[in-house]
Amino acid sequence: VQLSERFQVAIDKAAMRAGKQGSAEYLDDWRRSYSNCGDNLDKEASEAAEKYETEYSDDQLSLLAKAKGIDPEKENQPEIP
């Protein structure tokens, strides 16, 4: 499942603002999380994508991009492994 293009645009803008160059630097800050799922992975992935699509407005994505991908409202963001 792929998120809409607006997420890719925001990610690219955040990476540029953060001075990330090349795919290695670009992917270094990506965070991964794990959760338990049922047997229908396609359904679970679609539901997760829909959650992100509804939770993040265009304005919120723009603010995240301007903040180099760091959400200023979340105090305890997970460390990058």
- pLDDT over threshold 60, residue 37: yes
How many CA atoms are closer than 13 Å to the CA of 3, on its beta-carbon side? 17
The full length of the chain comes to 81
Condensed to tens digits (0 to 9), the pLDDT of residues 38-60 reads: 999 999 999 999 999 999 999 99
**Stated pTM of the model:** 0.76
In single-letter form, the type of residue at position 63 comes to L
For the chain, give every domain's residue range.
Answer: 5-66
